[in-house]
Every structure is written in C-alpha cells, then in structure tokens.
Amino acid sequence: MKKELLYGIIILIVSISAIIWYRAEKTIITSKPIETIIIGTNTEFPPFSFIDNDTITGFDIDVITEVFKRLNKKITFKDMPFDALIPEIQLGNIHAIAGGITPTPERAQRSLFTQPHLTGNPLVIISPKNKPALTTIADLGEKTVVVNEGYFADSYISNVPGIDVLRLSSPFISDGMLALESNSADAFVAATYSIAPYFEKYDKNNFYITEIPGTQETSAFAVSKYYPELHDYIQITLDRMKSDGTLDALKKKWNLL
C-alpha cells in the first residue's frame, strides 16, 4: 500500500509539473513582445485608406498611426487585396486591419473587432437624372444594381429579393460610376463616405442620390485572435482618443463629421 501511495504521489507531482511547464511555455510563446506591428490594409478605399504621393494615407491610417504612437510601437503597413485581409489576419500573418472595415458576424468569428470608431455612414442609391428616378429599395425591384464586391453595400443589396446585382471585383467607386454611366446598370449603391471623394471631383447634379434608411455602416479595427492583449490596448487607446477629442479632430480633417 505504501509503495502504491508513493507511486501515486510521484505521478501526481510529475503531472502537476507538466501542467505548470505547459502553461508557462504557452505564456512565453503568446506573450512574446511584438517588435513591429503589421497593419493590413487595402489602399483602394478612400477616404479610409488610399495612396497619395506614394504614401499610404487616409482616416483609418491616421487613427491607427496615432494609436500606436501613443503605445510607443513601430508599425508597418501591408497593402493587399481586400478579400485577403481577413484570411491573413486569421492566420496571424498580420496583427490588425485598418481601412474602413465593417464588423460582421462572419468576420467576428475569424478576428477580434474593436468598438466602431466611426458610425453614421449610410448607404445611398445613385441613379442618373436622365432616367426615371430610383430613390427607394422598392424602386430597385427587377433593376440591375451595381455594387463593389465584398463591401457592406454588396451584403445589403444581395439580401434584397428581386434585384439583379452586378458585382464589381474592383473596389473603386469610379468603376461603379462608370458602370452606371455606360448603362451597364440602372443604379449604384455605395456608402456615403466612400462616394464623397468622387463627387468632390465630378458633378453630382446629374444624379439622384438618396439615403437608404436604417443602413448605418460602421468602421472598426480588426485584430488577430492570436493577440487578444493587443486588441485590448488598441481599444483602451481609442477610448482615450475619443475622450480627449482626437478622434473628432481626425474626422473633421477627413470631412467625416
């Protein structure tokens, strides 16, 4: 009996030691400091992320840069196709995503989202004035509606029955407008803030531009699930930037108020 008890105690000690070693090893691996934060973005989505004079810029770029400036961390931006961002963050190849990305239940299964730092970005229906006005979702029945594939407008319009959806693999608003002006589509649906830079250059008086009620698009940052502490640090910093007025100042800079 004594030998059996002794063997039992030895096995218990070995087991506890193994568990402690495993947990310690896991902590060491997951808590390893990150020297440079890799931010994935798609630079084809002004005013959130785009290239100006060979430099990546935009509202979300300014916000995330300020976040990591306050956290005293170096960052580097990795420009990639929009549909590659979530797979890359899921694999842990990038630490976070910045660039007007909208949280969805499907995306939230694959990454950690901060609270939205920008709201009030409704979808709008754009249709030419040389044709009968299309200003409501009901008007779009049995019509061809162009959207940029993968964005909020795509998911929203795709769930409306009776609409022939023309999806553009290109994320450029200008390509959606070209499809509309070339009579390839009857209407174009996009987010208000995304369409604004286009109409700063081109006359919007030739179009009906109508907000779709109840379609408030939001923007947040996605963080890899491999780095939950990083998500928390970003969120805390965003909260402080909101409280001290920095977020509003950046929204004003980019005409997003």
User: Per-residue pLDDT for 16 more than 70?
Assistant: no
Count of CB atoms within 10 A of residue 140's CB? 23
The pLDDT score that the predictor gives to residue 172 is 87
In a domain, 198, yes or no: yes
The answer to whether residues 175 and 213 belong to one domain is: yes
User: Per-residue pLDDT for 224 more than 70?
Assistant: yes
In a domain, 16, yes or no: no
**24 or 45, which is more confident?**
45
The answer to whether residues 198 and 89 belong to one domain is: no
pTM of the model: 0.75
User: Per-residue pLDDT for 22 more than 60?
Assistant: no
Mean pLDDT (the chain, rounded):
88
The answer to whether residues 115 and 222 belong to one domain is: yes
Cα–Cα distance for residue pair 215/72, rounded to 1 Å = 37
User: Per-residue pLDDT for 30 more than 90?
Assistant: no
The answer to whether residues 93 and 210 belong to one domain is: no
The answer to whether residues 102 and 59 belong to one domain is: yes
Domain count, the chain: 2
The answer to whether residues 228 and 166 belong to one domain is: no
User: Per-residue pLDDT for 237 more than 50?
Assistant: yes
Are residues 170 and 81 in contact, defined by beta-carbon separation less than 8 angstroms?
no
Give the residue-averaged pLDDT of 65-80: 97
Closest CA to 117 of 223, 215, 242, 253: 242
Cα–Cα distance for residue pair 191/120, rounded to 1 Å = 10
The pLDDT score that the predictor gives to residue 170 is 84
Residue 60 CA, distance from chain mean position? 9
CB burial of 96-132 (b: ≥16 within 10 Å; e: otherwise) equals bbbbbbbbeeebeeebbbbebbbeebebbbbbbeeee
In a domain, 80, yes or no: yes
**232 or 2, which is more confident?**
232
Give the DSSP H/E element, type plus range, for residue 209.
strand 207-223
Lowest mean per-residue pLDDT among 124-128, 205-209, 215-219? 215-219
Q: Residue 114 — very low, low, confident or very high, per pLDDT cuts 50/70/90? A: very high
Residue 79 CA, distance from chain mean position? 13
The pLDDT score that the predictor gives to residue 15 is 47
User: Per-residue pLDDT for 50 more than 90?
Assistant: yes
Cα–Cα distance for residue pair 185/188, rounded to 1 Å = 7
Give the residue-averaged pLDDT of 71-97: 96
Are residues 75 and 183 in contact, defined by beta-carbon separation less than 8 angstroms?
no
CB burial of 202-215 (b: ≥16 within 10 Å; e: otherwise) equals eeeeebbbbebeeb
User: Whose structure tokens read 């797979």?
Assistant: 87
User: Per-residue pLDDT for 67 more than 80?
Assistant: yes
In a domain, 64, yes or no: yes
The answer to whether residues 105 and 224 belong to one domain is: yes
The pLDDT score that the predictor gives to residue 120 is 86
**28 or 91, which is more confident?**
91
Are residues 198 and 129 in contact, defined by beta-carbon separation less than 8 angstroms?
no
The pLDDT score that the predictor gives to residue 225 is 96
**223 or 199, which is more confident?**
223
Residue 10 corresponds to which tokens in the numbers above?
A: 């030895």
User: Per-residue pLDDT for 2 more than 50?
Assistant: no
Counting Cβ atoms within 10 Å, is residue 178 exposed (0-12), middle (13-18) or buried (19+)? middle
Classify residue 140 by its DSSP letter: G
Give the residue-averaged pLDDT of 138-150: 94
Cα–Cα distance for residue pair 111/103, rounded to 1 Å = 10
Q: Find all residues with CB under 8 Å of 167, minimum gap 6, and list them.
A: 146, 147, 148, 149, 154
User: Whose structure tokens read 């030691």?
Assistant: 17
User: Per-residue pLDDT for 27 more than 50?
Assistant: no
Between CA 152 and CA 157, with CA 156 as vertex, the angle to 5 degrees is 120
The pLDDT score that the predictor gives to residue 4 is 52
The answer to whether residues 130 and 156 belong to one domain is: yes
User: Per-residue pLDDT for 11 more than 90?
Assistant: no
The answer to whether residues 224 and 213 belong to one domain is: no
Distance from the first to the final alpha carbon of the chain: 78
The answer to whether residues 79 and 188 belong to one domain is: no
In terms of residue numbers, what domain contains 150?
Answer: 121-217
Q: What is the CATH number of the domain that holds 43?
A: 3.40.190.10
